[in-house]
Structure 1
Amino acid sequence: MLRPSPAPAPALRSVLAALGSPSAVREARTPALRTAQGPLSPELPLPVHVLASAEHTGARPGQRPAPPAGPLPSHTRLTGWRFLVRDGERAIAAADTMLTPDGWAFSHFFEGPYVLATERALMRAEALATPYQPRLLSVPELYMLTLWLHADTAADGASTEPGAADLLVPLAPAPPGIAADRPYRMADLLPVIRTRRTPPPLLGSAATATA
């Protein structure tokens, strides 16, 4: 079952204002929004977190970051809130918001495979016996997006600390070799992600030197 964290009220208001603006909908690169017949509603708000790249973990170019002290790294940051935009019973697009100096503001609409994949993953997670707080975790270097099921359902959605009981569900399309639409223990999938997104050591570096 899912226990989502409430989105900031200004973020929701900014999306409602954008949906109520004919020019914003008309100018969006989302044909589904422009041709929708019924009223559009933003639902299922999810905090979007990004897994920090290697340069933000203290590693030098060509050097693999040091293993974290604990089983899970905490190098994540909140970048926005995403709302699924429904036309009747189905999600046809998504709306992203971002934090500005003046607070939360509408960013853009988009559509594509991640919209349906997110909705599908949320429906499956809702059927789980264990309660989770749904989030999104993005890995830009791998063009990868996952549904992050956070076990601490009382946590603020903006908190960035992963937990040992958390799950990650890669959304389709997932990188080659990583199965989409199935839950992984975060402690199992994060090492795979770290290995794939870290460039190999530079030739001649200490990491490649031999005795």
Structure 2
Amino acid sequence: MPLLVPPAPAPALRTVLTALGSPTAVSEARTPSLRTAQGPCTPDLPLPVHVLDQATPAGTPTTRLAGWRFLIRSGDRAVAAAETVLTPDGWAFSRFFEGPYIAATERALRQAESVQQPYQARLLSVPELYMLTLWLHGDLTADGDTGHPAATDLLVPLAPAPPGIASHRPHRVADLLPVLTLRLTPAPLLSSPA
């Protein structure tokens, strides 16, 4: 029981269910595995997706909620994912997709279930590095839509991870964030000799 998956907002789930029930949405998706899935497809394991913004001068990471991601199951395996975004009118279906992060998310969640300390599961995206991590947040009572990574939270980079960062290896935020911040900091421009 150490892993808690926060409940998705009901309107976000409804938009995914509506999209799954729409032949047009499924047939126009760039997800061959979803179009060819045998049997019913159901949304599972909703995870809030937060985006890492630049760390503040004090080194505190800031994040913002980008949406909710649902794995789409057909039978006993995930065949795709669906994303929802918050708009001024409420939650809206964004897209279906597939790729390596689907299996990597499942693998990281299975790994996290074996951790002794309880955590709340989230996803943390670092777009500038083309990086996605499973964020294991230590505050189980926190709303999945809010919060910032605590120094003792764990980040599990999903495969494929950027070069030099081991995927599927848990890192404390206090250890991995300085590495990410260094990579996100632009290199100073070298002046040419006069």
TM-score higher than 0.5 here? yes
> Take 1:194 and 1:160, find their aligned partners in 2: how far apart are those partners?
19
2:170 equivalent in structure 1: 183
Contact 1:78 1:160 in 2 (8 A): no
Report the structure number with the largest CA radius of gyration: 1
User: What fraction of aligned residue pairs are identical, expressed as a percent?
Assistant: 71
Q: How does 1:1-211 map to 2 (within 5 A)?
A: 1-53=2-54, 66-68=57-59, 73-203=60-190
What CA distance in whole angstroms lies between the structure 2 residues aligned with 1:193 and 1:165?
16
Measured after TM superposition, the shift of residue 7 of structure 1 is 0.5
Structure 1 distance, partners of 2:54, 2:146, is 18
Contact 1:114 1:171 in 2 (8 A): yes
Contact 1:74 1:160 in 2 (8 A): no
Partner SS for 1:160 = coil
Q: Deviations over 1:107-147 (max 9, x none)?
A: 00000000000011001111211110000000011000000
* CA displacement, residues 15-74 of structure 1 (integer Å, 9 cap, x when unaligned): 0000000110000000000000111000000000001147xx5xxxxxxxx342xxxx23
Corresponding letter in the other structure for 2:66: T
**TM-score, scaled to structure 2:** 0.94
DSSP 3-state at the match of 1:134? strand
User: Separation in 2 of the partners of 1:53 and 1:189?
Assistant: 14
| Regions of 4+ moved over 6 Å | none
Structure 2 unaligned regions, length at least 5: none
SS class of match (1:18): helix
- Paired residues of 2:31 and 2:80 also in contact (CA < 8 A): yes
- The question of whether the paired residues in 1 share the 8 Å contact of 2:54 and 2:181 is answered with no
How far off its partner does 1:169 sit?
A: 0.1
Higher strand share: 2
Counterpart AA for 1:143: Y
Deviates more, 1:45-54 or 1:101-110: 45-54
